[in-house]
Structure 1
Amino acid sequence: MRREQCVSLFRKVMDSVCLLLRSHPQLTTQVLSSERYEQIQMCEDDNVTLLCVQMWIHTCTGKDFLSEFSDDSALLLLNEAVGQLAVSSASSVGGASVRLILLMANQQEARVKPLLLSFRGLDSLLDKDWRGRGFDQEVDQLIAIIQSDARILPQACSERVRAACLIQAAWRSFQTRRRLRSLNRAVCKVQRRYRSRRRQQQEHEEEQRGEEELRFQVCVRRQQARRKFHQKQRQLLQLLPPDQVQWYLQECERGAAVVIQSYWRGFRERRRYNTHTLRHTHTQQHAARTLQRAVRLFLQSGEQRRSPPLSVVTATEADSFLSPSGAIAARARDSHNALLQAGRLPWWRTGGDEDTFSPAPLQELEAELGGLFVGGQIQI
């Protein structure tokens, strides 16, 4: 197949792709990123490259084609055009690429101009390599667009930088103020705790100092009182005749010994009374109460068994069931109270004699109750 036939067939294929993309612009990204199209771009034939660029020019001239373009598709198409300007040396390919970029910039200025700024050095490339090729006017227009955007960009960047600096300054000042407030609160809290702890320590030290001073004053007063007492004794000894000094000292020693012995005997008797007498008395009282309770229950149960029902009891039978238990119980209670009162007397009232209660009434009660223990000690 001849070269001219291949080129004509390839032109028909590109025309078909152009018609397809005009009807379905969403397929542009798939076409630009397909492997087949990448193989076509790798071809070194200028005619093939020119047909590809012309296909995109015819496609972009369609109504509202670029408006339905996505940013990714526009960037891919610009990459292809700028790449042809950087790689190819054919004037036809360069002119077609410049016209494609101008077409996109004129139709979608707001979207394409920021994308052109990402290709740094494009204006210098156009000025050095593509002037004097027969499309200088188009090259000048494209350079003017790029440089106008480049002049606007520093202003926008400077405004953005200024705004960012203002925001950062405001945020840093806010953080600094908040940190200062937190530091002030923390410092106040630390100072408050330190002052309270120091105040507590001072109060504790003052209390200790007061207690020490009080103890010291007590010791000093005791020493002064002891000194005064010794001075008074010395003065009294000076007033006594010499032959009575020894007798006076012996009397003082005897009085001190009597006081010490009295305190010791009182302590010993109280301890003995608390440990032995009270325990023995409590045991006796508890045993007496237990026995009395058992006897009363036994007597009540016996009376209930012997007594007839109230419906058949006559006055004569009721008199026969009367017993002197009330008087006996009263006498037993009196004797028990007397025994308790006698047991509570101190040792110096009893004189060491524990049998202070007369057993005569108790013997009579024992005889009447038939050997029932009422309270106290009975010698039978």
Structure 2
Amino acid sequence: LQNDHFLQLLITDDVETAITMMSVLHSILRVNSSVLLQVDEETLHSVLDELVYKLSSTTNPVIGNAATKLLLLVAKFCKQLVKLLTARYKGLKQLLSTQWMGKGFDRDLSQLLDLLYLEQSSGKGEMQRQHQAACIIQAMWRGFQARKRLKKLPQAVTTLQRSFRAKREQELQHLKKQKEDEALKLQMQHQRQRAMRFFHERQLALLEIIHASQINKYMEEMEGKSALTIQRFWRGYRARRNFHQQKQSLKEYKAAVVIQRAACKFLEKRRRRRLLSPWKDPKGLTDEQRLALQQKVDDYIKLHPASQMSEEMSKELHMQAQEKLAQFLLRSRLDQRAVQRREALLAQVNTDVELLMNAPGLGKTTEKDLDVFMSRSIPVATKARQSHNTMLKYTHWPWWKKLGDEFMEDDVIPDDALNAELGTLFIGGRK
């Protein structure tokens, strides 16, 4: 059965050969009924597939009778193969009952169908028993879950009540705070009204005291003060608005720089990935192309003979190459250090800019905010104190000391030295 020639003869389309091979297989099974269990699974499936294929693809009653007898013999002597037939060939029963009934071998066909239906009914009984067991397990599990929920029900009610009370207390606190805010707003409005009324009364009293000839002058002074106040508030508003606009534009610029840097890194990675693509073998040359290329090489060698180089010249050339390589490596190392130093300086500048941009106003500054701009290093703090004292001293000089070098005294610090002293900014402990 495991011989390939036997399977080839069984699979053939010749009717006489197929009938002969099925008769031989029938005789083998009568002599040794367990021979199909001794062969490998692939061979067994090939034999059964061919028998079922012959039943489904032909209408010859001789082939159908031989195939039916073989399947009946297999089903009688081995129950495992009956299960295999039922599970592997789902439409076999319908095929036998619709296509081969009334063809002259109904007895064998009926026995085969009875065996297949009996196996199917036993399989259904097993499935029904498993279904009942699953229902019992599910019922027990649902009962366990229901009892568990019933045990946790008082705790859930307590939790619900606690959350409801907390929610109600939160709403009451919110209403109370809202009423307090409204009362405070109304009180502030009354205070402003009283202050405005008191101001107007005081102004009228002053107008009564002033002589009639001085009223116009007093009104002009009041108008000037009012105009200065309006201008001061307008300039402050405009400066704050410009500052916020510049802050937003700076944030947009930094975001654009970050996006561009990420895009450049992505493009660089893709370019490197393309450069490191797998090697593709070049197409081979034909004999004619190889001969033509060899002829070109020979002609070029004849026209341009190689010059002979002495050992001293080769050593000198090697030394020059080594010197250039060393210079290149040294220059690349210096360039790399310069790039690292530049990146560190840019990072420090960005950090300083962020600290200055995010610094609060003078009215909102606390001691914690001052710690950001102070250094724990004693030399750095001493240098900063000296620079600050120098700046204070410079601001208190009279104007004639700042005109030029000819009016400077010996103890006067020149502007270059002052700029050198004030040219460094101490932020977060860095110089």
TM-score tier (shorter)? 0.3 to 0.5
Q: Which has the larger radius of gyration?
A: 1
If the length of structure 2 is used for normalisation, what is the TM-score?
0.32
Q: Which has the higher contact order (CA 8 A, sep 6+)?
A: 1
